[in-house]
Structure 1
Amino acid sequence: MAALPSLINMMSQLIASPSISSSQSNWDQSNKDVIELLEGWLSSQGFQCEVMPIPGYPNKVNLIATLGKGDGGLVLSGHTDTVPYDQGRWQSDPFLLEERDNRLYGLGSCDMKGFFAIVIDTVRQMDLKNLKQPLIVLATADEETSMAGARALVSQNKIKARYALIGEPTSLTPVHAHKGILMERIRVTGQSGHSSNPDLGNSAMDAMHSVMTELMAFRDNLKKKYRDASFVIDYPTMNFGCIHGGDSANRICGRCEIDFDLRALPGMSNQSLVDEISRLLPSIESKTGTKIEMDSLFTNIPSFFTPIESDIIKTCEKLTKNTATSVGFATEGPFFNQLGIETLILGPGSIDQAHQPNEFMALNQIKPMQQVLRGLIERYCLQNNQSNHPENEEQRV
């Protein structure tokens, strides 16, 4: 097989290929250069590579690289995009990998281009000529914004596998659950007028006060009704993030908007929550004589959950010696749930460094992650039995 660059060199090339995804067009970029690098490296190791266009996103693609055949096996998945960066707040060029203080600095070093370099370097060290089940390396687009890459996999039913690891930065701790998230905007339209006479207008801000009162009561009811002790914040949260209304102290406010997010626990339906909130609004609209509308700020992300007793969770607990936990941030995990794949989130680096200036991956995370990857590949791709139980496989793990 063709020679590959070193792990550090691969990571350096990936970081040097900008692939920012953003809802702001001046930041948003294609991920095709990153996909081209991964396709070349994985093809050189015998993987069959499919570059998958994303409908509606002409400059974004997924990569599905498969070694071996079968309907079982293991997916090692990550996203190829990064968030924007804070100009002037980095100590080094965000697109130039720099090693200092036993850390690798660069945009995407832990979230999550570094994961791909670790995966490919691990694969090249293993004898995978006699796979019993396929090994799939999946690279997705736009995770940081629309999750269009993962959504396209679901809509096209592209991935067929038994197990999946998503290598988001978790400090090598297995994650089996996270909350969902939806973001909504409520807009109240009244009638502006001269403030000297309230009868000349209809205050949208007054009506928004009633809207917020209902939303806060709704939030309190959610907190009383739903609890999950596996989360640090063990109830659904609703945050009123920003509010805008009116334009002058001497004018009746004709329009007011509030943006909020709601993070639901596993088992709760985002759509049901939106429907419940929507049903609160018509009575306020009627009572205040205003027009009230609600719109989604982005397509919501479902919660993620894989049972703690699942084989891949138990296996990774043994491989990492860390107990599985839940987290507050969202991932592509729920879309793998929809594909029927037993999935966990586990990767090198810390979420505390993600989305921050001077993002880094600690060097001491790399070898332990490679050990996890080897254990999973051996278990799910090199062994015959796809329903192993780790308690009976102590020596193999």
Structure 2
Amino acid sequence: MIMTLPSFIQIYNELITIPTISSVTNEKLDYSNKALIDKLANWFADLGFSISIQPVTGTRNKFNLLASYSNDSNHTQGGLLLSGHTDTVPFDEGQWTKDPFKLTEQNNKWYGLGTADMKGFFAFILESLRDIDLKTLQKPLHILATADEEITMAGAVHFAKTATLQPDCTIIGEPTSLIPIRAHKGFVSNVIRVIGKSGHSSDPEKGINAIEVMHLVIERLLQLKQKLKDEYHNESFAVPYPTMNLGIIHGGDAANRICGCCELVMDIRALPEMDIHSLFDILCHSLKPVMDKYPNRIEVKYEVDPIPGYECKKDEPALQEVEKLLNQSAQTVNYSTEAPYLNQISPTIVLGPGSIEQAHQPDEFVDMAFLTPTKETIQKLIKRFCC
């Protein structure tokens, strides 16, 4: 195999240097990932991978990359898929002490936006391939790079709908401190808007105060919160029930004016076995008494498309193989990943270098101690599922 790759540090730095921020609300902060996709495509092509780049529908010039290597004409069945997302969250400029778009080595850590979450995973993959003779592989090896994981999961959704391959195992390299993750909760974010009737505060009966109506809404939500806690349990999770958080509320503009509009943004973290879309109906049913009292004044909608929960069953052979390789039992987490979508294609495990505690944080970093064990882990996975 002809090795034309740059050094690990150069690869890592080039990935971090390219801004790939995703944002729903601010188009100026929503960067295309095309430059990063092209760079990855060139590196994997140099190693002999076949390359497919697909535009992702419903995005602002975003793309998925699938790089595949197979020594067999049956290049879609079996083998291993290593997956990661190419985008990052925005950064708080005043809180970073390092350049977010430069890989900085300091205190035995690599700093930069996306080092842990999770552009750096591709650098670890490429480093791991240096010592593997791809011509010896008996089953396909696929590398997937997706778009918009941080906001809509559009890249993973698109891939799950269009993919023809069926690997034996998929690994998503989110920062799990190299602990295999087999399940996580779903995420539903709803916006509840109350439209009142404004007027002068000296005569409240001539208006409808949206804040007061929202107070009734919140009473119903807190009842639903307790109901979900009482009726649904999964002891695999540290928090073994669905949670609800009232995250943002705002309304009104002056003390002497009846509030004409009040808006609440909330989320529910659903257990994997729960139907993520039925929660919308459950929410609306819970609010029905207030909606009936104030017809056409309460609106409920999704803030973003809901993300289902995910679970790879404990008796799944691929999961058992990964646990055996790592000599470590799989765990569960509360945050969300692309696993619900890729799990539709093949058994999916979340496993990667770095700590989730660094994700979305100023001065994001990966500890340099992860280099050797991550390289060894990826090589073990390739040898197990592709040889």
Distance 2:168 2:136 in 1: 18
Shift of 1:310: 2.1
Name stretches of at least 5 consecutive residues in structure 2 with no aligned partner.
none
> In the alignment, which residue of structure 1 is the partner of 2:384?
379
Q: Is 1:344 paired with 2:346?
A: no
**Deviations 1:331-365 (CA, angstroms, capped at 9, x unpaired):** 000001222x1010000000111111111111111
2:55 paired residue among 53, 56, 61: 53
Q: Is 1:142 paired with 2:148?
A: yes
Q: Is 1:10 paired with 2:11?
A: yes
Verify the 8 A CA contact 1:205 1:255 in the aligned structure 2. Answer: yes
Shift of 1:217: 0.6
**Deviations 1:46-95 (CA, angstroms, capped at 9, x unpaired):** 10000111113241100000001241111000011111111132222111
Amino acid aligned to 2:63:
V
Shift of 1:133: 1.4
1:59-78 equivalences in 2 (<5 Å): 59-68=61-70, 69-78=75-84
**Deviations 1:286-325 (CA, angstroms, capped at 9, x unpaired):** 2245611111110111001101232232233233333211
Question: What secondary structure is seen at the aligned counterpart in 2 of 1:34?
Answer: helix
Q: RMSD in angstroms over aligned alpha carbons?
A: 1.4
1:186 paired residue among 189, 192, 204: 192
The 3 A distance-change label for structure 1 pair 225 and 32 is: same
> In the alignment, which residue of structure 2 is the partner of 1:27?
29
2:163 paired residue among 132, 157, 173: 157
**Deviations 1:223-269 (CA, angstroms, capped at 9, x unpaired):** 00111122111110100011112222222222111110000011001
Question: What secondary structure is seen at the aligned counterpart in 2 of 1:181?
Answer: strand
Verify the 8 A CA contact 1:207 1:290 in the aligned structure 2. Answer: no
Q: Which moved more, 1:297-306 or 1:82-91?
A: 82-91
Verify the 8 A CA contact 2:30 2:60 in the aligned structure 1. Answer: no
Name stretches of at least 5 consecutive residues in structure 1 with no aligned partner.
383-397
Verify the 8 A CA contact 1:45 1:124 in the aligned structure 2. Answer: no
1:224-243 equivalences in 2 (<5 Å): 224-243=230-249
Q: Is 1:370 paired with 2:375?
A: yes
Distance 1:4 1:25 in 2: 34
Percent of paired sites with the same residue = 45
Shift of 1:32: 0.9
Distance 1:160 1:316 in 2: 18
Question: What secondary structure is seen at the aligned counterpart in 1 of 2:82?
Answer: strand
> In the alignment, which residue of structure 1 is the partner of 2:365?
360
Q: Is 1:293 paired with 2:299?
A: yes
Question: What secondary structure is seen at the aligned counterpart in 2 of 1:3?
Answer: coil
Distance 1:106 1:218 in 2: 41
Verify the 8 A CA contact 2:3 2:130 in the aligned structure 1. Answer: no
Verify the 8 A CA contact 2:168 2:318 in the aligned structure 1. Answer: no
Distance 1:278 1:338 in 2: 29
Question: What secondary structure is seen at the aligned counterpart in 2 of 1:193?
Answer: coil
Distance 2:263 2:60 in 1: 33
1:302-317 equivalences in 2 (<5 Å): 302-317=308-323
Amino acid aligned to 2:168:
R
> In the alignment, which residue of structure 2 is the partner of 1:175?
181
The normalised TM-score by structure 1 is: 0.93
Distance 2:146 2:259 in 1: 45
The 3 A distance-change label for structure 1 pair 158 and 54 is: farther
The 3 A distance-change label for structure 1 pair 221 and 254 is: same
Aligned length: 381
Verify the 8 A CA contact 1:153 1:159 in the aligned structure 2. Answer: no
Distance 1:191 1:156 in 2: 48
Distance 2:104 2:364 in 1: 11
The normalised TM-score by structure 2 is: 0.95
Shift of 1:2: 4.4
Question: What secondary structure is seen at the aligned counterpart in 1 of 2:300?
Answer: strand
Amino acid aligned to 1:48:
S
Verify the 8 A CA contact 1:22 1:28 in the aligned structure 2. Answer: yes
Shift of 1:199: 1.9
Distance 1:150 1:194 in 2: 50
Amino acid aligned to 1:190:
G
Distance 2:202 2:31 in 1: 51
> In the alignment, which residue of structure 2 is the partner of 1:261?
267
Distance 2:259 2:22 in 1: 36
**Deviations 1:145-173 (CA, angstroms, capped at 9, x unpaired):** 11110011122234432210000000010
Q: Which moved more, 1:309-318 or 1:65-74?
A: 309-318
> In the alignment, which residue of structure 2 is the partner of 1:132?
138
